[in-house]
Amino acid sequence: MVRIGVEERRTRLGRRHRLGAGCQAADPVEAAASMVALHATDPATVHLSVATRVPGSDVANTERALYDDRSLIRMLGMRRTVFVVPTPFAPVIQAACTDDIAVKQRKLLVKHLAESGIADGAESCGQWLAAVEESTATALALRGSATAQELSADEPRLRTRLDMAAGKAYAAQPYVTSRVLFQLAAEGRIVRGRPLGTWLSGQHQWSPAVDWLPGGLGDKPAAEEARVTLARAWLESFGPGTTADLQWWAGWTLGQTRKALAAVEAVEVDLDGQAGYVLPGDEAPEVPVDPWVAFLPGLDPTPMGWKEREWFLGPHKPKLFDSTGNIGPSIWSDGRIIGAWGQPESGEVRYQLLEDVGADTTALVESEAARWTTWLAGVRVTPRFRSPLEKQLSQG
């Protein structure tokens, strides 16, 4: 069995994730494809992840790919998370992950509707939901694009309140609006378009998928075939990785994960005593990468690509992750995390190193901090999920 050690894994990360010197992507689509998908739960992450990997890229460049060329699309995907993906790959993710999510979320929403007394029993609640969905989809088609608020004006039932956790200290009565739009999006019927306001906004215009793209998301492969394609893409970008890594990243069952790995004929390798996998023919060492430093945003797809992160994270998890497992902004050197960065109200980029990295690497870090201060041009990015060290650096 071929052994692939930590240093080799870090070299692969630098080259394949377009972070190493001379390894950068040519455009936002190539940057997204190199990662399979870019995290988009926090809207700022998309732009910062692209700018890290594409020299000279700016917000307008990424927005052009998303909203004008539509060569990238924002969609629900792995682990019920919003991603930005190359448009041709969207049907694969839809079939491999999102369709299952849509089924589970529909059952959950019907359950919550019944518990809230919206209709009498699950069957009636299902019929009520289907009627509201069709009415909402029709209203959106007539408008061409619309906000959630505009659709609520067209379909008043979207203002129905759910009675969540009644009698509990954390009880809430949210409108059903976001849940209905989530369901329509999960089923590939509607898509998120331009944000309302700046590129930092998490609110978007909605459009019918068939209007946004000719034919909508396009023909989907069968679910099993799609999972095989997605597993292959993950191994190309993140391999070697373990079964647990892929299962966590994709949000699959253990059985689905093992079946997909078998179908791609994944080759077992030794990760310092642990079984990992690569694609056939990918056992040879990667071409070395010159020394590099990168500032990655919170929820960047690189640190979120594996469940088991010790080989690049070391002992730094308590300072870099929030309580629910989301990473904040991080600083990388040659395939491992060495620190974190943040912005106070004044907007400049501050950083803190978590270990002694030597004068040469420190100089690269200082240069990157200055570059990001210039790139952000006074715009302050506050991550949606905040790590302890990022909070500390953002004070003052």
Q: pLDDT tens digits, residue range 304-347? A: 999 999 999 999 999 999 999 999 999 999 999 999 999 999 99
- In our burial notation (b when 16+ CB lie closer than 10 A, e otherwise), range 21-44 reads eebbbebbbebbbbbbbbbbbbbb
Residue 377 corresponds to which tokens in the numbers above? 């041009």
Taking residues 249-254, report their average pLDDT.
98
- Residue 165 binned pLDDT confidence (cut-offs 50, 70, 90): confident
- In our burial notation (b when 16+ CB lie closer than 10 A, e otherwise), range 104-142 reads ebbeebbebbbebebbeeeeebbebbeebbebbbebbee
Angle between helical axes of 99-115 and 121-143 (0-180°, round to 10): 120
User: Across the chain, what does the average pLDDT equal?
Assistant: 96
pLDDT cut 70: percent of the chain above it: 100
C-alpha atoms less than 13 angstroms from C-alpha of 361 in its C-beta half-sphere: 21
Taking residues 180-208, report their average pLDDT.
96
User: Are β-strands 330-333 and 293-296 bridged in parallel, bridged antiparallel, or unpaired?
Assistant: antiparallel
Asked if 75 contacts 90 with a C-beta cutoff of 8 angstroms, the reply is yes
Taking residues 239-265, report their average pLDDT.
98
Query: Is the pLDDT at 254 greater than 70, yes or no?
Result: yes
Taking residues 36-44, report their average pLDDT.
96
- Residue 31 binned pLDDT confidence (cut-offs 50, 70, 90): very high
Q: What is the pLDDT of residue 169?
A: 82
Q: What is the pLDDT of residue 320?
A: 98
Query: Is the pLDDT at 148 greater than 90, yes or no?
Result: yes
Taking residues 294-312, report their average pLDDT.
97
Q: Encode pLDDT of 94-132 as tens digits.
A: 999 999 999 999 999 999 999 999 998 999 999 999 999
Q: What is the pLDDT of residue 133?
A: 98
Taking residues 158-171, report their average pLDDT.
88
Query: Is the pLDDT at 38 greater than 80, yes or no?
Result: yes
Q: What is the pLDDT of residue 396?
A: 67
Residue whose tokens read 């904040």: 328
Report d(CA 54, CA 48) in Å as an integer: 10
Q: What is the spatial order of strands in the sheet that 82-86 belongs to?
A: 38-39, 82-86, 72-76
pLDDT cut 90: percent of the chain above it: 96
Q: What is the spatial order of strands in the sheet that 350-353 belongs to?
A: 293-296, 330-333, 336-342, 350-353
Taking residues 163-174, report their average pLDDT.
85
Planar angle of CA 313, 319, 323, nearest 5 degrees: 100
